[in-house]
Structure 1
Amino acid sequence: MLFIMTQVQVLGPREVPLGGPRSMTVRRTLPHRDRSFVGAWCFVDHYGPDDVDATGGMDVPPHPHTGLQTVSWLFEGEVEHRDSGGVHAMVRPGEVNLMTSGHGIAHSEVSTPATTTLHGVQLWVVLPEADRDLEREFQHHAAPLVSLADGVDGRVFIGSLAGQTSPIATRTELIGVEVTIAEGATWTFASNPAYEHGLLVDTGKVTFEGTPLDRGDLGIVDAGPAELTVVAESPTRAVLLGGTPYDESIVMWWNFIGRDHDEIVAFREEWQSRAERFGEVDGYAGRLTWLSAPELPGGRLRPRDRSGRH
C-alpha cells in the first residue's frame, strides 16, 4: 500500500504594531511573503493574552477598509465596535462579528473598561471581484460550544463542520472554527477536499498531519485531503480556517484591498479627505478623531497572488 504524506506549510508569526501611535502588538502570520491566502482568508492577527492594566488594551481610532470583510473573534475580554454604517456592537468570546466593507467603511475598536485581559484574533476575508463593491453590512452570531470528538470541543463561527453550520454569510466558501483539544487527544475530522485548511495555534503544542506546530504558528494544507488529523501534545486551543482557493490577484496595503497601485492611491486620497466613500463613525471617544493613513512607499505597489508572489 502506498502512503502519501500530506505536506504542511508552516508560517511563523512576526510581531507588528497595530493602531498607530500607542499601538498594541499583534502576531501576524498572513499575509506572508510565502503565501497570501488560505481560501479567501487574507489576514491573520493573533494577540494576547494581554494584561490591559499594563498594556493599555485596544484603542484603534476610526480607520477605513475597502474590498474585504473583517472577522473579529475573542478568547477573553470585550471590545466595543462602532462603524460608519451606524452599527454599535460588542465583540465577546464565542460571538463572531463580521463586518463587510465592500465599497468603503470606517470603524473603531476599543476594549471596554471591564476588560482585564484581552486575547483573540482579528481576521480579514478578501471579497472577489464581483462582490468587492458591496454595501456596508454587519453580521453577528453566538456560536454554540459542541463536542467534535473525545477530548475535543469547538465553536463553528463560519461555514460548516461536523454537522454544525454558522448562519454568517460569506461571498466565497469558508470555514472558521475555534477548537480546544485535551492533552494527548487526537482529532481526525472530515475535511472538504476542495478547501485549503490552516490551523493557527493559540495555546499549547500540536502536530498537524504529523508536522509540529507551536504557539502562534499557522500550519497550512493545500486542497486535496478528505480528512485531517491534529494531535495535542499539551492542552491546546487553536483556530481552524479554510476555504476554496482564491485565485484572483490583489493589492493589499494598509487597510485597503484593491486591484492595482492607482486604485490604492485613490482610496488613500479619499480617506485623507474624509470622503463619503467611508462615512463617519459616531460615538467614538478615544485618543484620536481618526487614524491618518501612512505615506505610500516609493515605487508602485504590485499585485500579489495566492503564493505570495508579486
Structure 2
Amino acid sequence: MSLTAEQQELATTVRAVLAKHGDSAAMRRGLDSERGYDEQLWKLLCEQVGVAALAIPEEFGGVGVGLVESLLVVEELGRTLVAPPMLGSAVLGVQALLLAGNTEANERLLPEVAEGVRTLALCWAGPRGWDSFGVSAAGENLSGSAHYVLDGVQADTLLVLTADGLFEVDGDAAGVTRTAVVTQDPTRTLARIDFDAVQARPLGRLNVARLREIAWAAVVAEQVGAAEQCLDMTVEYTKSRVQFGRPIGSFQALKHRMADMYVLVESARSLAYLAIAGLADGAVEAIDVQAARLHAIDAFNAVVSETIQMHGGIAITWEHDAHLFFKRAHADAQLFGAPARPLARPA
C-alpha cells in the first residue's frame, strides 16, 4: 500500500501535534492522571484533526475516509506511547458498531464518538483471552466478567461482545462493576468489568473473525510506529554517546545492528500496510493479517531489545523512555492474542 498525498498529510499533521503537545513529558503526566492519558491532548486531536471521526461514515457524523486513516493515527500514537481512547474507542468500538449494522444505535452513538465527547469500550475477552467470551447473555440480561478491556474504567458506553451478538450497556448501569487492573505496561489502562444480570440493549450479530483481524491490524500499526521510534532514539543516541574518542554510532558493529533494526521496521511496515489495505478494501486474506501480526511482534521485540542494549544502563532507568517501549512491546504481543505458528498459505 502506498499512501496518498492526503494520507501522508494526515500522518504529518498528527505527528506535528504529538511532537508539540504529546512528548514524553506529556505522556508521563498522563500516567498519573485519573484516565491514564492527557485529556487535553485527546481533545486537541479530536477537535483540530478529527481523529475520532475518520472511520465513521458521514451519515453518522463522521468524516468517512476509512480504516486506513484511523490506523495511520494509531501508528503515530505508537511512536509516543500516548494511549488515548483511539484504539479502544475510535477504532475497535466504532468497527464493532459498524459490523453489527444497527442503524439506530449508530445514529445515536457515533456522532458523539466522532466529536470525542463519548468513548466506547469493547468488552470481549474471557479470563484466558480473546478466544472466548467473558460475558454470556440470557435474553437481554448479561452476566460474567470481561477481561483486558481497553479504557474500560472511564468509558461512557460499554459494547459487550457475546456468543449471541453485540450488546450495549451504559457505563453506569446497575449491576456493572468496573475495576482497573495492574498491567505490565503502565502507559495503557486496562480493566475488568463484571456484569451481574445487567439489562442490555441487543445491537445484532457481527463477524467476530473480521473484528479480530481489525484488532490485530491496529496493534500492528501501533507496533510499527513504536519500533520506528525506538530505531530513531537509538540512532540519535549513538551519534552523541562518545567512547574511545568517537561517537559509538561510528563503530561498524553497531552500524550493522542498526541496519538490521531498520530492515525489521520497514519489513514490518510493508506487511502491516498490505494487511491494512486489504482490510479496508474488503479483499484481505486472513493469512496476510496473521503474517503481519506475527512479524510485528518479532520485529518490535527485537528492535526494542537492541534499543535497550545500545543505550546501556540509562535505558533501564525510570527517567528514560526505553524501558517503557520495552514494556509496551511485551504487552502488545499479548493484546488480542496472536495466530498460531507456523503459517501456511492454502494451495
Length-normalised TM-score, structure 1: 0.28
User: Which one has a larger percent strand, Structure 1 or Structure 2?
Assistant: 1
Which structure has the larger Rg?
A: 2
Length-normalised TM-score, structure 2: 0.26
Higher relative contact order (CA 8 A, sep 6+): 1
User: Which one has a larger percent helix, Structure 1 or Structure 2?
Assistant: 2
